[in-house]
Structure 1
Amino acid sequence: MNQIIHCPQQDTNMNLDNTSCPGRRKPEELVPSRYAVRVGEIDVLVISDGVLPLPTEMLGHNADAAARAAWLGDMFLPADVFDWPLNVVVVRSGDRTILVDAGLGLDPNLNLPRAGQLVKRLESAGIDLASVTDVVLTHLHMDHIGGLLVDGVKDRLRPDLRIHVAAAEVKFWESPDFTHVHMPQGFPDALRSTAKRFVEEYRSHLRQFDEQYEVAPGVVVYRTGGHTPGHSIVRLASGGDRLTFAGDAVFAVGFDQPDWYNGFEHDPEEAARVRVRLLRELAATGEQLVATHLPFPSVCHVAADGDVFRCVPVFWDY
C-alpha cells in the first residue's frame, strides 16, 4: 500500500515526514551551529565550521596504543577515525566586530563536505562579512585560515580589514619545520602551501604583534607558542566576566591526558607545557573556555584534580 502524505497549509508541529511535501523547504541540517555567550559588555558568538575526520592516532601519537584505545572507548568514540569539531568565534566589543579564526574553507582538492561551513553560517547568523573590522588568527594552519581563501570572500571584506597574527607565526611559515609533527600523508604540503598563499594574498592586511596586543576594549591576544611558534589565544574580560578562546592549545583528550602529543604540534613538548599551564590557570580563575576542536559549542569551565583536569560543560542558556 502506498503511503499517503497529507500536506496541510500550516503546521506548527515539527514532523520530519512533512519535509517531503512538495513546496515545503527541507531543513539543511538538524544540528545547532551557533551559540551566543555574553562576557560583560562583550558579545560572543561561537560558530561551527563543521567537522574534520582525522585518524585517532593524532590525539596522542606518543601514547601507548592500548591506552589511547581505552580512552576512546571510555569516551564512546570510534577506534580509528573520528570527527574533529571546528569552532570559530565572532566577538563584538564596542564598535569592533572581530572574527577569531576563519575555519577550513572549501579547498576543491580536499573531499571534506562537512567542513568549511563558516561563510554560510555567518550569513545564517546575520553577520555580513563587510561588518568584520578585525580578524585574529590563533595560527596559520589551514583549518584556521582557509575560510578567508574561499573564492569571493576577500572581495566582500572591508578594504581596511586588520588581521592580527603573531610575528613569530608569519616568520615560521617562511620555512616551516615539520620534524616533530605526526600528520597523515599530504598534510605538511597542504599546510605549507595554504599558509604561503594566505600570507601572499593578505600581507597588506596583516598587523603583527610580538607577545600580546589589545585588539579592542577587553579583547587581548597573547602568543603562547607550542602548537606552532606563534600560536596565540584570545582572552576576553568585561565587567568581572572572563572567557578564553584557546585555539589549538587544548584538545578534548588534553583534559585527561595533557601530556599526550597532538599530531599537529610542531613543538609537542612545549605545547604540553602550555596546555598544562593554561588549564591550571583556567581552573583557578573559573573563567569560561572555548577551543577550536572541543565539541560544539565547547563552552566549558575547567576543574582540576592534581595533574588531571576535567571539562565541565556550561548549561546552555536559552
Structure 2
Amino acid sequence: MTTHLNHSAPKAETNDQQGSGFEELVPSRYAVRVGEIDVLVISDGVLPLPTSTMSTNADPAARAAWFKDMFLGPDAFDWALNVLVVRSGEQVILVDAGLGGQFPGFPRAGQFPKRLAGAGIELEAVTDVIITHMHMDHIGGLLVDEVKNRLRPDVRIHVAATEVAFWESPDFTQTEMPSPVPDVLRSTANEFMAIYGDKVRTFENEYEVAPGVVAKLTGGHTPGHCVVYVNSGGERLTFAGDALFPVAFEHPDWHNGFEHDPEESVRVRVRLMQEAVASGELFVATHLPFPSVGRVKVDGDAFRWVAAFWDF
C-alpha cells in the first residue's frame, strides 16, 4: 500500500496518482498513517435506504427535522458504505468487504474491488480479512467471482465466534428492516459460511490479528459485532463498523432498524464515543459519510463529529 504521509494527518488520493489507468471523477479512498501502520478507507459506494430505518424509535417530526437539517431525505437517503485496508508489517488486512454487485436495487454499491485495484492493491496480497459482522453489506463483496477467485488459498478470515453461532439461527424479532431483507441476510450468511467456513478463524472476546491490529467483540448491532482498533506509536484509530450511524452523535438513543438488540446497541455506541472523546483518537465507521475519518467531541448533552482536515 503506497502512502507518503506525515505521522498524524489523513490524506486523500486520486485514482490516477497510482498510475493504474483507472480514473474516477472523485477520490474513492483515503489514506491515514497510524504510527507505523498504514490504513486506507475505501468507499464501496452507497445504499439507498428509507430515512425511517435510521431512527425507528424517534418521533417522526424529530426525524424529519434532523434529515432536513442535514439536507437529506425526507423519505430516503444514500447511506455510505466504507471498508478498510490495513497494512501492519507483512500482513495486509481487509476489514469488511462491502456489498458486492449481486443484489438488485443497489447499483451504486459493490465498488470496492475496482477501487482496491485503483489503489494499486492486489486481492492476492490480502493475508487476513476481519468481518465486523455478517450482514450482507459487509460480507457480500467476498461472494463475487472477481474476489473469491483471487483471494489466496491461505487467507485467514476472522469473525467473532458469537457471530458465527448467531447466524446458524438468527433472531430478527427486534429489527425493523425492509421486508425482503431478513431472508437475503440469512441466505448471504449461509453462502458466506459455505464458501469460507474452512478459512474462518473465530475468536471469543478479542484477537490481535497483526501487531497493533485488534478485533474486539462489542455485540449490540448483532450479537457478534466487533470493532477494530489500530494502535501504533502512541496513536489509535477505531473502526466502529455498524456500532453507530450519522444520527448517533446528536441522538445516540435512536435505534437503527438493522440492530438485532437496539438497547444494547445504544450502550455500545455511547461507550465507544466516550472512549473516543477521552483518547482523541481517529474514528471511522462503515456508514458515516466517506471518508469517515474524524474525531468525537462532547457537545453539551450530546456528542459532536469533527471531520478530519483533508491534508493533501
TM-score, normalisation: structure 2: 0.92
Alignment of 1:141-160 (within 5 A): 141-160=135-154
- 298, 304, 308: which is aligned to 1:310? 304
For the residues of structure 1 that align with 2:153 and 2:22, how far apart are their CA atoms? Answer: 35
**Whole-Å separation in 2 of the counterparts to 1:132 and 1:29:** 24
SS at match of 1:304: strand
| Aligned equivalent of 1:66, options 61, 65, 70 | 61
Cα displacement (A) at 1:196: 0.6
Matched, 1:258 2:259: no
Q: Answer with 198-207 or 26-35: which moved more.
A: 26-35
Shift of 1:224: 0.1
SS of residue paired to 1:156: coil
* Alignment correspondent of 1:7: none
Distance 2:223 2:112 in 1: 26
The CA distance in 2 between the partners of 1:183 and 1:197, in whole Å, is 21
The alpha carbon displacement at 1:95 in A equals: 0.4
SS at match of 1:38: strand
Deviations 1:279-308 (A, max 9, x none): 011001000000000000000100013540
Q: What amino acid maps onto 1:97 in structure 2?
A: V
Instruction: Please state how far the C-alpha of 1:30 moved relative to its aligned partner.
Output: 1.9
Structure 1 unmatched ranges of 5 or more = 1-25
**SS of 2:207's equivalent?**
strand
Structure 1 segments, 4+ long, off by >6 Å, are none
Partner of 1:136: 130
Structure 2 counterpart SS, 1:170: helix
Query: Within the alignment, does 1:168 sit opposite 2:162 as a pair?
Result: yes
Deviation at 1:111, TM superposition (A): 2.5
Q: How many residues align?
A: 292
TM-score normalised by length of structure 1: 0.90
Decide whether the 8 Å contact of 2:22 with 2:118 is kept in 1.
Answer: no
- Code of the residue aligned with 2:279 in structure 1: it is T
Secondary structure, aligned partner of 2:145: coil
1:293 paired residue number: 287
Match of 2:202?
Answer: 208
Give 3-state SS (helix, strand or coil) of 2:97's partner. Answer: coil
For residues 274 and 209 of structure 2, what CA distance do their matches in structure 1 show? Answer: 25
* Match of residue 8 from structure 1: none
Secondary structure in 2 matching 1:122:
helix
Q: Answer yes or no: is 1:46 the counterpart of 2:44.
A: no
1:106-125 matches, within 5 Å, as 106-107=101-102, 109-125=103-119
1:151 Cα deviation from its structure 2 partner? 1.6
Q: For residue 34 of structure 1, what is the aligned residue in structure 2?
A: 29
Distance (Å, rounded) in 2 between the aligned partners of 1:140 and 1:170: 8
Q: Deviation of residue 154 (structure 1)? A: 1.5
* Alignment partner of 1:86 out of 72, 81, 87: 81
| The one of 250, 261, 265 aligned to 1:267 | 261
Higher-Rg member (1/2): 1
SS at match of 1:250: coil
Q: Secondary structure at the match of 1:37?
A: strand
Partner in structure 1 of residue 16 of structure 2: none
Deviation at 1:153?
1.8
Amino acid at match of 1:230: G
SS in structure 1 opposite 2:201?
A: strand
Unaligned runs of at least 5 residues, structure 2: 1-20
State the distance in 2 between where 1:175 and 1:182 align: 18
